[in-house]
Structure 1
Amino acid sequence: MSAAPVVLKAEGLSKRFGGLLAVQNVSFTQFAGEVLAVIGPNGAGKTTLLNLLSGVYRPTAGRLHLLGQDVTDQSIEHRCHLGLGRAFQIVRPFPEMTVHENVTVGALFGKPGANLAQARDLAYDLLERTGLAAHADKAAHELTLLQDKRLEVARALATQPKVLLLDEVMAGLRPAEAQEAVQLVRSVQGSGISVLFIEHIMPVVRDLADRVVVMDQGQVIAEGTYREVTRNPQVVSAYLGTETELQA
């Protein structure tokens, strides 16, 4: 992966909320085509980090480069138009709009100057890719949880990202559903999109991640392949408590 171009580079990112230092001096690099996992116990700062990457929060310190551009002080919209997409853990589609209309909105927002006809066509293509074509005319509130998760990914893909952030998109899914979601993420990677995801389900991390960043108490405590980090004594101690559990 190191020979591939860098798509995302965090340098000393920190975020303070009053007296709480939620993210402290976090640095990592993601390469083109790579699936990078961020793991750690609850409260480790993972979602705060995603909010820093996507522009929801401005860092207290540090810099962020996206596709070669310094976007530290840039808006969510600028980052999206440059090529950063995000799917959220808590899915909030427009409930009374159809599935197709929800994805069309993402397509219209994602790139400046997009027209409605192009956005509709892209939305249909993405519904095919995410297995939702048969549900295109349903109201979003009629979907199952797995279908909701697919819709969230489709809406993020509609912005035509080069880097896609996924915040625990497997949460709440049954094992068979999680495996379907794994296949969806693999197809996203196969289309040339780099993926950074937060996840607690370790078999999913094992199956998907090219590399893993481990956080605890706002800091990066380890980085490497799944095999490397799950054999790191500091990770075992901080995360699940036993090496056997972490490798499950």
Structure 2
Amino acid sequence: MTAVSFQPSAVSQKEVVLRAEGLSKRFGGLLAVQNVTFTQYAGEILAVIGPNGAGKTTLLNLLSGVYRPTSGRLHLLGRDVTGESMEARCHAGLGRAFQIVRPFPEMTVHENVTVGALFGKSGVTLPEARERAYDLLERTGLAAHADKAAHELTLLQDKRLEVARALATQPRVLLLDEVMAGLRPAEAQEAVALVRSVQGSGVSVLFIEHIMPVVRDLADRVVVMDQGQVIAEGTYREVTANPQVVAAYLGTEEGLQA
């Protein structure tokens, strides 16, 4: 499938969709995330980057409800969801696609997405969920594979299925955990186009990524973490020119901007 070019939608400075205030997470003597604060706006694609062990995945787990914070607050669409479960956050408009894709392997691609639609907003009927699943398979380029068992898909198709399942829950904010991992360059560009199309549909996206050209091409803003803390925030150009980011992340400006 040929990657499609999408224009980024304008970032609204009026509506805050996600607000982390002083989020910290301690595991015994390890402070994995320390006093992380950031804001995400409606329609924005926000990247979180940093070296291995910086606390990025722990932060994503705090946002999605896998972990409860040791301290700090999280607001989703103006609602304090700090103490709420993953399911409650999903119903409130927060979706997540995981790096390691685990579909129901013996179910069809369409059935996998239908399950996501039933799990999301309350009151969705089975016919409505099936219809929404077909629509999302069209949008994510999987319509031709709707009746295949999920275990028959390629890695790129698996990634698309993971995004489709997350979108089926009808999120306002979508969390993506290294969805480009393992993809060839051409496949990564297709995935970039898919994320752009998600943004174009009105969904705000927060993603973790190590592939810097992907961050450059996708992110409206970038949050940089190191040792559990936010050390910089701004546009891609701004953070890659920050000496602290260069020293903490890849060590050279040339490497960071590759």
Q: TM-score range by the shorter chain?
A: over 0.9
TM superposition outliers: structure 1 runs of 4+ over 2 Å:
1-4
Tell me the TM-score normalised to structure 1 length.
0.99
Q: What runs of 5+ residues in structure 1 fail to find an aligned partner? A: none
Cα offset for 1:2?
6.2
The letter for the 1-side match of 2:146 is: A
Task: Report if the CA contact (8 A) 2:21-2:37 is conserved.
Answer: yes
C-alpha distance in structure 1 between counterparts of 2:253 and 2:184, whole Å: 24
Equivalent of 2:199, from 189, 192, 195? Answer: 189
C-alpha distance in structure 1 between counterparts of 2:49 and 2:200, whole Å: 23
Equivalent of 1:29, from 39, 61, 70? Answer: 39
1:85-164 equivalences in 2 (<5 Å): 85-164=95-174
The letter for the 1-side match of 2:44 is: E
C-alpha distance in structure 1 between counterparts of 2:31 and 2:117, whole Å: 36
The letter for the 2-side match of 1:167 is: D
Residue 82 of structure 1 pairs with residue 92 of structure 2: yes
1:166-186 superposed Cα distances (whole Å, 9 cap, x missing partner): 000000000000000000000
The letter for the 1-side match of 2:69 is: P
Cα offset for 1:97?
0.2
C-alpha distance in structure 1 between counterparts of 2:217 and 2:66, whole Å: 29
Equivalent of 1:239, from 249, 253, 258? Answer: 249
The equivalent of 2:184 in structure 1 is: 174
SS, match of residue 181 in structure 2: coil
Cα offset for 1:3?
2.3
Residue 41 of structure 1 pairs with residue 55 of structure 2: no
SS, match of residue 157 in structure 2: helix
SS, match of residue 234 in structure 1: helix
Task: Report if the CA contact (8 A) 2:12-2:43 is conserved.
Answer: no
1:192-231 superposed Cα distances (whole Å, 9 cap, x missing partner): 0000000000000000000000000000000000000000
Cα offset for 1:4?
2.8
Equivalent of 1:212, from 198, 206, 222? Answer: 222
The equivalent of 2:6 in structure 1 is: none
State the number of aligned residues.
Answer: 248
1:105-158 superposed Cα distances (whole Å, 9 cap, x missing partner): 000000112110000000000000000000000000000000000000000000
The equivalent of 1:4 in structure 2 is: 14
SS, match of residue 105 in structure 1: helix
The letter for the 1-side match of 2:109 is: V
SS, match of residue 169 in structure 2: coil
Q: What runs of 5+ residues in structure 2 fail to find an aligned partner? A: 1-10
